[in-house]
A and B are shown apart, each in its own frame.
Chain A
């Protein structure tokens, strides 16, 4: 009964479009008037819904809110928010004197039948399905996926044919198939199931599982089982990719942090306990610059990050020089004291930042680093994390070049191998020390600037990663860059792979404990890390 009606309507619409012109396709007045008759209301609403004419919005909204009135049993009026009555063409009801008229008699509210409430809502949503705002279209398409109402499928079909944004089109098609899962005809159901099996849509998984419990037809049942299996195996694969990516992301952060630590440790035997606070300074550099740009160059606010990257490197590197020249050089050859002094510095810096900046702030990533790359449906690699991975690779290459291909690196390695002999050859080992320490802290500053993209900026920002990066240094040894790379990969990966394996809310905690145990066990095999510095055999102890 519905289809001929629709055909008729379409014809009518086409005719009227030819007659009146596309701009002014008036809604069928007779249909609207049917809304006032309780018995015809439902049929009228169904047709109006399928029309999805944007000009109907006012009437439908008014009907939903109880603001639709019938005057003198012939004219429909809407009581707007301002308290005036307007007709369907938005013209106010005027008396003979041209004043707004608010009649007390002859006005009758059009009642919305209880059973039609959902239908009005649907009709309004149908209007939004062709709205100009893509977010609205998308949200309606998503919402309709949870309906039990098969009659909206033609609407979706129409909307999907007109849709230009591929993402929304896919959502609409998916919703259509979700609704078809409820179709009484087994073939249609089977087709829809096959569709989900092919697209491996995660969103349909629970729907399919529910369906399997209720399904009578054995063929459809089998189809559901295959589809569910396909989706589940896809999800497993996707999770594996996600874990690996998270592991890589953590590893890249650890790599930037521990490169600096490892070089300083290799050369001077000093573990910089304030490394986490150097990271914090880098983060705050980004934060301060962001505020500065927002205040002064709000038109180019996004470029702050491009300035922040090199600036954090310079600022924190300068702090490193100050630290080395001002304090650490007095403790030359006493690594444990140096460790303690750097810890004291870290404490002062941390509390200083807390006093000056307050407890927690954050940095807005520049627009070009927001969002992500959807590598497969439902799995997004955030650009910020990809950027950090890229940055860590750049750092690695630069450090490699600096250490093994440049003149400075040659000196540095000479001092590392034999300080006294290098000094005899005319290398200023003190200058090398200062430079190396500054390089180490500068890398921490860079890491801090990069980390401000994915986390908050607070005085304890270094705490999250510092213990892990110490573990990286211990694990990797100080003999080769490769040790640090492998160790950061090892620690980062096993952290992120242990977490899901342990499961539960405390997974991150137990993963950290697990890593520590693994590191200690690993040291049983190689007490000086993967690649120890070459020393005389007798001096078998680690610094």
Chain B
């Protein structure tokens, strides 16, 4: 195979994506074809697509199933939410310097851990650093002890459950079950103006394109090959002397940071973040997006996130009670019938066609051995 540098491979799909999201949709919006409401909705999907990119990196490429990505997403979203609440402090119902829910909970002064989030750069930095550091610590505790596979999945799930339980408590000073909401402005610009919504969309799209190109570059680099090898033949890689735990910790932390970024962009666009978005179910939904779109392909993760969220918005408007059933059914169906997701369907069909043809050929030419076409585990 002709060698081409990883960044070159990333460039073409990256620029197509950029053209579509950064130029195509805004033009449609400007022409009035796409209303501000849908642009905002699309911005939300794109924010979640960043979360899916991270999930694809660790699960699709590296084969680590984390059922706790929503925690890291929640870190980012809560950090941004805290900043937004502090930005509009003094404009609440009570006119206090602290958020309204603290007044209800009889908290009189701003808790210490809220203070850094007054400053936007610091809030963003923390929103990325907290998930990354948390993932690092969790990774060190597990990967270095060779806890992986199902054990790792269950532990992350338990972590998501515990975080959800904690965030529901009022004494955590994060708004309890109601979460953080009633965001007013960012940089003094009201979040409800079309200008703010469009800008947020553009920033989100830009971040997504940037993350996409970075991830594409990563998976195309030598590091990416190591990650894929880790997924397919971990033992062999270990015997070759690769520091497996370090690779795993790195990719887990990177995925966590991407989840944090996703949360940062999600909170101001949606205007609310509650514990229900950081529990076990939302974590697993991320897995569904990636599985449906096609894991191990970044574009698949992207398509899955946008597609399923769009379907969700559409269906929950009409049949809200059927959504979990559709989601669960979709998941079972995809994993069993289309293990490579939507993106993999053409390839799957081609393979099937080839197999049928080979069988026909085999019948006409006795004694020939069909080539094994089994899929890797």
**A residues lining the B interface (CB < 8 Å):** 265, 269-271, 327, 330-331, 333-337, 339-341, 343-348, 350-352, 354-355, 467, 470-471, 473-474, 506, 509-510, 512-513, 516, 519-521, 523-524, 527, 538-543
**A327 close to B336 (CB less than 8 A):** yes
Contact digits for B324-339, partner A, Cβ 8 Å, 1 yes 0 no: 1101111110011001
Task: Enumerate chain A residues within 8 angstroms of B226, measured Cβ to Cβ.
Answer: none
**B335 close to A344 (CB less than 8 A):** yes
A479→B158 CA distance, assembly (Å): 22
Spot the interface stretch: B11-19, B144-152, B296-304, B362-370.
B144-152
- 28 A-B pairs with CB atoms under 8 Å apart are A269-B150, A270-B150, A333-B377, A334-B377, A337-B339, A339-B150, A340-B287, A340-B291, A340-B331, A340-B335, A341-B332, A341-B335, A344-B327, A344-B328, A344-B335, A347-B324, A347-B331, A351-B321, A351-B324, A352-B325, A510-B166, A512-B161, A513-B165, A519-B155, A519-B158, A538-B235, A542-B151, A543-B150
Q: Is B222 an interface residue (CB 8 A)?
A: no
**B157 close to A467 (CB less than 8 A):** yes
Q: Which partner residue on chain A sits nearest B331 by CB separation?
A: A344
Contact digits for B261-296, partner A, Cβ 8 Å, 1 yes 0 no: 000000000000000000000001001100100000
- The DSSP consensus for interface residues of chain A is helix
**B329 close to A344 (CB less than 8 A):** yes
Query: Which B128-176 residues have a C-beta within 8 angstroms of A?
Result: 138, 141-142, 145-151, 153-155, 157-159, 161-162, 165-166, 168-169, 171
Task: Enumerate chain B residues within 8 angstroms of A539, measured Cβ to Cβ.
Answer: 235
- Taking a contact as CB atoms closer than 8 A, the residue among A269, A334, A470 that contacts B154 in the complex is A470
**B150 close to A271 (CB less than 8 A):** yes
A509→B330 CA distance, assembly (Å): 33
**B residues lining the A interface (CB < 8 Å):** 63, 65, 138, 141-142, 145-151, 153-155, 157-159, 161-162, 165-166, 168-169, 171, 234-235, 284, 287-288, 291, 321-322, 324-325, 327-332, 335-336, 339, 377
**A542 close to B332 (CB less than 8 A):** no
- Taking a contact as CB atoms closer than 8 A, the residue among A333, A335, A351, A471 that contacts B325 in the complex is A351
- The DSSP consensus for interface residues of chain B is helix
- Taking a contact as CB atoms closer than 8 A, the residue among B148, B169, B327, B336 that contacts A341 in the complex is B336
Task: Enumerate chain A residues within 8 angstroms of B138, measured Cβ to Cβ.
Answer: 520
**B154 close to A271 (CB less than 8 A):** yes
A271→B153 CA distance, assembly (Å): 10
Question: Nearest 7 CB-CB pairs, A to B?
Answer: A347-B328, A344-B331, A348-B328, A351-B324, A527-B145, A344-B328, A344-B332
**A345 close to B328 (CB less than 8 A):** yes
Task: Enumerate chain B residues within 8 angstroms of A510, measured Cβ to Cβ.
Answer: 166
- Taking a contact as CB atoms closer than 8 A, the residue among A335, A337, A520, A541 that contacts B155 in the complex is A520
- Report the minimal beta-carbon distance from A440 to chain B, rounded to whole angstroms: 15
- Report the minimal beta-carbon distance from A323 to chain B, rounded to whole angstroms: 10
Task: Enumerate chain B residues within 8 angstroms of A330, measured Cβ to Cβ.
Answer: 336
- Report the minimal beta-carbon distance from A371 to chain B, rounded to whole angstroms: 33
- Taking a contact as CB atoms closer than 8 A, the residue among A339, A348, A355, A524 that contacts B153 in the complex is A339
A270→B149 CA distance, assembly (Å): 10
A352→B323 CA distance, assembly (Å): 11
Known: A341-B336, A351-B321. A474 touches B169 (CB 8 A): no
Task: Enumerate chain A residues within 8 angstroms of B157, measured Cβ to Cβ.
Answer: 467, 470
Find the residue from A344, A470, A523, A541 having the highest chain B CB count within 10 A.
A344
- Taking a contact as CB atoms closer than 8 A, the residue among A343, A351, A512, A541 that contacts B331 in the complex is A343
A162→B171 CA distance, assembly (Å): 55
Task: Enumerate chain A residues within 8 angstroms of B339, measured Cβ to Cβ.
Answer: 337
Known: A350-B324, A351-B324, A516-B159. A541 touches B166 (CB 8 A): no
**A346 close to B150 (CB less than 8 A):** no
Task: Enumerate chain A residues within 8 angstroms of B336, measured Cβ to Cβ.
Answer: 327, 330-331, 341
Task: Enumerate chain B residues within 8 angstroms of A333, measured Cβ to Cβ.
Answer: 377
Task: Enumerate chain A residues within 8 angstroms of B141, measured Cβ to Cβ.
Answer: 520-521, 523-524
- Report the minimal beta-carbon distance from B358 to chain A, rounded to whole angstroms: 22
A520→B134 CA distance, assembly (Å): 14
A519→B138 CA distance, assembly (Å): 12
**B325 close to A527 (CB less than 8 A):** no
**B158 close to A471 (CB less than 8 A):** yes
Task: Enumerate chain A residues within 8 angstroms of B332, measured Cβ to Cβ.
Answer: 327, 341, 344-345, 348
Known: A331-B336, A337-B339. A541 touches B169 (CB 8 A): no
Q: Which partner residue on chain B sits nearest A514 by CB separation?
A: B162
**A348 close to B155 (CB less than 8 A):** no
Task: Enumerate chain A residues within 8 angstroms of B159, measured Cβ to Cβ.
Answer: 516
Task: Enumerate chain B residues within 8 angstroms of A336, measured Cβ to Cβ.
Answer: 63, 65, 149-150, 153
Task: Enumerate chain A residues within 8 angstroms of B145, measured Cβ to Cβ.
Answer: 523-524, 527
**A513 close to B147 (CB less than 8 A):** no
Known: A327-B332, A340-B331, A467-B161. A523 touches B149 (CB 8 A): no
Find the residue from B63, B159, B234 having the highest chain A CB count within 10 A.
B159
Find the residue from B142, B325, B327 having the highest chain A CB count within 10 A.
B325
Task: Enumerate chain A residues within 8 angstroms of B166, measured Cβ to Cβ.
Answer: 509-510, 513
- Report the minimal beta-carbon distance from B63 to chain A, rounded to whole angstroms: 8
Q: Which partner residue on chain B sits nearest A513 by CB separation?
A: B162
- Report the minimal beta-carbon distance from A388 to chain B, rounded to whole angstroms: 23
Given contacts A337-B339, A347-B331, A538-B235, 13 further A-B contacts (CB under 8 A): A343-B328, A344-B288, A344-B329, A350-B324, A354-B321, A470-B157, A509-B168, A513-B162, A516-B155, A516-B162, A520-B142, A523-B142, A542-B146
Known: A346-B328, A351-B325, A516-B158. A506 touches B169 (CB 8 A): yes
**B149 close to A541 (CB less than 8 A):** yes
- Taking a contact as CB atoms closer than 8 A, the residue among B147, B165, B287, B322 that contacts A527 in the complex is B147
- Report the minimal beta-carbon distance from A540 to chain B, rounded to whole angstroms: 6
A336→B153 CA distance, assembly (Å): 8
- Report the minimal beta-carbon distance from B210 to chain A, rounded to whole angstroms: 30
Task: Enumerate chain A residues within 8 angstroms of B327, measured Cβ to Cβ.
Answer: 344, 347
Q: Which partner residue on chain B sits nearest A337 by CB separation?
A: B335
A284→B336 CA distance, assembly (Å): 28
**A474 close to B155 (CB less than 8 A):** yes
**B324 close to A509 (CB less than 8 A):** no
- Report the minimal beta-carbon distance from A486 to chain B, rounded to whole angstroms: 18
- Report the minimal beta-carbon distance from A542 to chain B, rounded to whole angstroms: 5
Task: Enumerate chain B residues within 8 angstroms of A265, measured Cβ to Cβ.
Answer: 150
